[in-house]
């Protein structure tokens, strides 16, 4: 119980502090209110603890997310369980922000409606029903409401926590508003909605924050769509790899193995991905850190590496460049004629990828045999959609200069 209360207290405190900084910086006037809706609308997102504390090696937490292929549908899976959960959340996109703890699946936002969503699941001692889960979390919701009231003060109103019946479900919710916010003196309003279903020993925490009462029905549709499926998922999983100071989101097959590999290469080593069985491939994901304008650029490093191999007489391709959005992949392939014998660490075919993902530099070294080419193509495609979050920088963001936000 104390862990849940502390989680809510720390998260809400961080959110309200961020909101206060945003108010002082007049961010609402600059960005039309969207930033504030993220900063104060996600009562379980903060700069705090547990899952995003910088790990010394590789950590992967049990709660995972995956896409089913159906537009707008997400899957939730807890590692080691023989079931999963489906929910229809059209229009929601992942927001790359630090989590508050290892029980968190996601933080998402719908840009059209301004609704934010977080989902958690954890085992609670003594909980064996939706009602008992709701009782467990109720105190934390009340504390969150009280801290919101303390922040709002006489600038607006904060309603009491109410227990509401809707679509056959019992929800906890409260409204809050600021009557005149920012230099434009606009009215700011939010409704927070909590639903706590129970399934096979786990209490789920679905927490949505809406920007208008009109979109409440959309949230209820999400709740109505929640379905429990009595087998493990077979789809790819959006693994969140916590490695050193980074969180890397990478969609890979659920049965691929992973482990931390010490350096070299790089000062930290990397994340090794292996097949569920056999020795068809070995992929090494290498976080290099932030890209500085005056520092080495991924494209230049790819070309330099290719030239070094060619100078040693290694058959190597030219550098290929593929850019989508803020992600650019620079890659080349080569063969190693020495690896025509069985050896778990020796592969005849190699593909090197130097990736610019936002402001981060991520490398991929793929070694494979003929039977592993499909997997090599698969990981290359996954890299084009990967996300990298520098956890240290993400926590600094709300306090660095005027107008800097929790995004």
Which tokens go with 217?
């029905």
| Angle made by CA atoms 298, 299, 303, in degrees to the nearest 5 | 115
Walk along the chain (407 residues) and give the pLDDT tens digit of each residue.
444 434 443 344 333 333 333 333 222 222 222 323 323 333 333 333 344 554 457 999 999 999 998 999 999 999 999 999 999 999 999 999 999 889 999 999 999 999 999 999 999 999 999 999 999 999 999 999 999 999 999 999 999 999 999 999 999 999 999 987 777 788 889 999 999 999 999 999 999 999 999 999 999 999 999 999 999 998 799 999 999 999 999 999 999 999 999 888 777 899 999 999 988 999 999 999 899 888 889 999 999 999 999 999 999 999 999 999 999 999 999 999 887 666 777 899 999 999 999 999 999 999 999 999 999 999 999 999 999 999 988 887 654 333 323 22
What pLDDT is attached to residue 339? 79
How distant is the alpha carbon of residue 398 from its chain centre?
A: 18
Which tokens go with 304?
């330099």
What pLDDT is attached to residue 341? 63
For domain 236-392, the question of CATH label 3.20.20.140 is answered with: no
Q: Are 225 and 70 in contact (CB under 8 A)?
A: no
Every domain range in the chain assigned CATH 3.40.1000.10: 236-392
Burial class (CB in 10 A: 0-12, 13-18, 19+), 402: exposed
Residues 6+ positions from 299 with CB-CB distance below 8 Å? 319, 321, 328, 330, 354, 356
pTM: 0.82
Residues 6+ positions from 264 with CB-CB distance below 8 Å? none
């Amino acid at each position: 119980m104390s862990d849940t209360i502390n989680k809510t207290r720390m998260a809400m405190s961080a959110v309200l502090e961020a909101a206060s900084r945003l108010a002082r910086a007049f961010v609402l006037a600059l960005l039309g209110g969207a930033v504030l809706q993220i900063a104060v609308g996600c009562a379980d997102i903060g700069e705090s603890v547990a899952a995003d504390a910088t790990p010394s090696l590789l950590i992967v937490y049990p709660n995972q997310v995956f896409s089913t292929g159906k537009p707008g549908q997400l899957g939730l899976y807890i590692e080691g369980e023989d079931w999963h959960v489906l929910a229809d959340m059209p229009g929601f996109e992942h927001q790359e922000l630090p989590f508050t703890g290892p029980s968190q699946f996601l933080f998402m936002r719908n840009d059209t409606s301004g609704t934010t969503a977080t989902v958690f699941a954890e085992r609670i001692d003594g909980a064996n029903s939706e009602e008992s889960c709701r009782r467990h979390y109720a105190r934390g919701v009340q504390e969150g409401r009280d801290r919101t009231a303390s922040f709002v003060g006489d600038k607006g109103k904060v309603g009491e926590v109410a227990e509401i019946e809707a679509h056959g479900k019992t929800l906890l919710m409260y409204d809050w508003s600021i009557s005149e916010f920012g230099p434009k003196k606009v009215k700011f309003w939010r409704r927070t909605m909590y639903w706590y279903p129970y399934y096979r020993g786990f209490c789920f925490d679905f927490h949505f924050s809406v920007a208008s009462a009109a979109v409440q029905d959309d949230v209820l549709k999400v709740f109505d769509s929640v379905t429990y499926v009595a087998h493990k998922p077979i789809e790819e999983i959006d693994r969140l790899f916590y490695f050193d100071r980074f969180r890397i989101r990478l969609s890979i097959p659920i049965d691929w193995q992973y482990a931390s590999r010490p350096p070299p290469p790089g000062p930290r080593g990397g994340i090794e991905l292996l097949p569920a069985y056999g020795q068809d491939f070995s992929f090494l994901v290498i976080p290099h850190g932030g890209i500085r304008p005056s520092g080495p650029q991924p494209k230049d490093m790819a070309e330099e590496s290719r030239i070094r191999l060619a100078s040693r007489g290694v058959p190597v391709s030219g550098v290929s460049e593929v850019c989508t959005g803020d992600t650019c992949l620079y890659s080349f392939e080569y063969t190693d004629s020495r690896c025509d014998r069985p050896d778990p660490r020796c592969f005849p075919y190699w593909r090197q990828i130097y990736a610019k993902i936002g402001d981060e530099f991520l490398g991929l070294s793929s070694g494979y045999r003929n039977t592993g080419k499909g997997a090599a193509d698969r990981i290359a495609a996954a890299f084009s959609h990967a996300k990298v979050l520098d956890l240290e920088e993400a926590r600094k963001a709300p306090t660095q200069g005027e107008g800097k936000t929790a995004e």
